A and B are shown apart, each in its own frame.
Chain A
Amino acid sequence: MRTWFPYPLLSIALLVMWLLLNQSLAPGSILVGLFLGMVLGWVTLKLHPARSRLHRVSRAAGFALQVIADIIRSNIAVATIILRARRVPANAGFLTVGLDLEDENALALLACIMTATPGTAWLEYDRRQKILLFHVLDMQNEELWRGTVKRYEAALKEIFQ
């Protein structure tokens, strides 16, 4: 089974996604979905993704809610900045913060969250010195941004390590 489906969870997710996209349970769709899951599983195997263990999945729900609240808040904040950009130029700048995350998947998730949030953009992570360089649109309070990143880091650490 492992040779056909090296990543069973991924293959199941792909099958479910395929069935949802087609909105049918016809044998043909299931067959194509299984084939898709198999081929993409092999492709993923070639990419050698890092496996990580989830320790406290229960913490993930609270973290997701927190992130959604932050995204809504920063959506409003960035919208006001853009609407006032004619009169008040945006006070943007680069910031660095030290990170202590080892897990690659946790880093990837943090990068996605930070870039998906308007107002912060992930630019570069130095693996050796563990320093993250990111760009913020509103430099009013540097410590606040650093604190936010640190908060995310702590939550991810709790979930992944």
Chain B
Amino acid sequence: MSHLTDLPAWAALGVCGLLLLGAATTLIGSLGLLRLTDFYERLHAPTIATSGGTILICLASMLCFAVLQSRWIFHEVLIILFVTVTTPVTLMLLGQAALYRDRFEERQGVPRKPKPERENSP
């Protein structure tokens, strides 16, 4: 961490900007969980944090360590890859679970299950 003083001013500014932007994006995403009212609406909020916030913070980290040349920057690439691939799976599961429950309880405003065709149904 003591090497951080070696960072030139332009890089430090860039890293700061990216970090602040990423943190703000993550904060907005978390705020969304609080402010949006419906479960389905809340599904959209965490994707901001994962798609925007994580990538910006990882970019900041990449820029910092690329300029310092203290280590390889592939870890961040892997983080971005895994977060973008795994989050949708969780969200889809949550969405389907919510849909199933709401249909079971016959809540208003939730689309019905499409009628299965007779000849294809087992």
Residues of B within 8 A of A82 (CB): 28-29, 31-32, 35-36, 45, 48
Number of A-B contacts (CB under 8 A): 111
A157 CB, min distance to chain B CBs, angstroms: 20
Residues of B within 8 A of A119 (CB): 44
The reply to whether A137 and B48 contact each other, CB–CB distance below 8 Å, is no
Residues of B within 8 A of A23 (CB): 71-72, 74
| SS class, residues of chain B in contact with chain A | helix
| SS class, residues of chain A in contact with chain B | mixed
* Interface hub of A20, A92, A94, A135 (most chain B Cβ within 10 A): A135
Asked if A121 CB lies within 8 Å of chain B CBs, one says: yes
In angstroms, Cα B43 to Cα A109, docked, is 19
**Count class of interface residues, chain B:** 35 or more
Residues of A within 8 A of B48 (CB): 75, 78-79, 82, 118
On A, residues with C-beta under 8 Å from B are 17, 20-21, 23, 71-72, 75, 78-79, 82-83, 85-86, 89-90, 92, 94, 96, 111-112, 114-124, 126, 128-129, 131, 133, 135, 137
Given contacts A85-B36, A111-B88, 8 further A-B contacts (CB under 8 A): A78-B48, A82-B36, A94-B110, A96-B111, A112-B85, A115-B47, A116-B88, A135-B95
